[in-house]
Chains A and B, each alone.
Chain A
């Protein structure tokens, strides 16, 4: 069994297709992400990058294909179950609890019971408080713990959302366009942060910012029209004529 688990990739997509009103947003897509791997996904607008994340996280059901996480069929589970299996997701549009303080955002995301009645009577343990403090330091928001999330800048919201994912302690992070709306300095910091995170878990990053992708320095997959166009090192992918024609060249 353990042998089997070792050989099973963390995330395994094969022959996945999904159509919206006849339009094939994902078309026979296959992708494998190993334990501890960080993968960058690039591709033109509408390539199906976000839709792919929707499928992995249970938001969209694929019409065909296999979607496995640690060998378990994700198409049989819903969003909450998949999140609890260990997949965390950052949305393209930063989504945090705007009406709560930064601290409470992290508290709600923190790994632990998801039971309604336990939430009614739950109290915070010292370990939980410590863990939140650690995360606040990682996402550089220690001084703003009591600030309402609504009052954060766009870039800070992105970081808070990444912090919430860390609090969830997932095995796989799906991060959709994390540096959109960030300054150059923030972008560099984010690349550092994600590299740090990927030391202990797998990460899939979707991004358009090529210098950011270069900073990540990981295997790159280019999607176009819902399928894999090219895969390999950044240099390999960016010199692929198909990629130049459909994405980079424009």
Chain B
């Protein structure tokens, strides 16, 4: 019953996406593990983490869409929540290394030994437990978003000012994580991971599993987001976007609505970051770079914000394009990205999803007029 009620909330596009993600989660690992390398459909092992990374970016864009597309909060700091989730996962992976580090300390990660630290700092406690680390993956970004949002939304900071302070937030974290004495590996970040849950990160089966997990979690998060935006709360989020004062004078607490969206979105970004780190094998302060957060905005805008589906498509396309361009013409990529953003803003204000919708309505209109014209033609044909 519930699943049926859920399913009616989904558009055709949403259903296609969910099904494709599930299919991809099975077929791609199978094509990697089961097919011989010479087979034409074989997926080489190096593509698994690359494609897995795209799925993580898609999840990050989805997270941004929840706040930007629906609530109208343009966060230019979503990369921070992604990176925090990534660090939480990275800390677990560091502790998994155990005595296999260069300095062979049974507990302390290499960089701490290098810094002459004698014991594990308090905030590294518990990260040897997978469940604890995964809890932190959502709790830390969620808490930061809660505290940040609590102050920002209560004092009614909106628009450009809010965007600027989110950008400042990620920049501040960038600077903090660069410092060695913060205890997160400084400049180098966390890397040289060995295994996850006891499985070697170098093994094809592990990589394939991580890819499948990324696809399935993206589908799950998409379903959750779809549930949120189609609920009454989702309608309120969109109402806040267009007429904040009307929502307030209707008796709703606008700051609570925004805070909910912001915290959920930050948690999703954290999950995306946590999936990203074991697949790329490193997390460093560079992930907090303001430019990263701005790129997420571009993916979302390209796909079409406020559609959930669009940002996922945008993230996949732009990042696929990025991989191609940076290999083929490394020097033009940034210009191409900039030009893309300008072009989308000017010509496709609703992104690819908007373009798609436009084409559909035009097509429908044409077939509708065609249907109207046919009966009129008939008498003539009879003559």
Contact = CB atoms under 8 A, between A and B. Distances in A.
Contacts of B253: 80, 114, 116
Contacts of B252: 80, 114
A119 B238 contact: no
A84 B257 CA distance: 16
Contacts of A83: 248-251
A241 to B, nearest CB: 38
Contacts, number: 73
Interface in B185-210: none
Interface size class of A (residues with CB under 8 A): 20 to 34
Interface stretch (A37-45, A95-103, A198-206): A95-103
A225 interface: no
Interface stretch (A15-23, A62-70, A104-112, A214-222): A104-112
Given A97-B242, A116-B256, A120-B228, A168 B236 contact: no
A4 interface: no
A120 B251 contact: no
Contacts of B241: 99
B232 A120 contact: yes
B245 interface: yes
Contacts of B232: 107-108, 119-120, 122
Contacts of A109: 250
B233 interface: yes
Interface in A109-152: 109, 114, 116, 119-122
A237 to B, nearest CB: 29
A107 B252 CA distance: 13
A116 B254 CA distance: 10
A72 B252 CA distance: 20
A34 interface: no
A29 interface: no
B250 A99 contact: no
A167 to B, nearest CB: 9
Given A79-B249, A83-B248, A96-B246, 7 more contacts: A80-B253, A83-B249, A91-B249, A97-B242, A97-B246, A119-B233, A164-B250
8 contacts: A83-B249, A91-B246, A97-B239, A107-B235, A109-B250, A119-B232, A120-B233, A168-B251
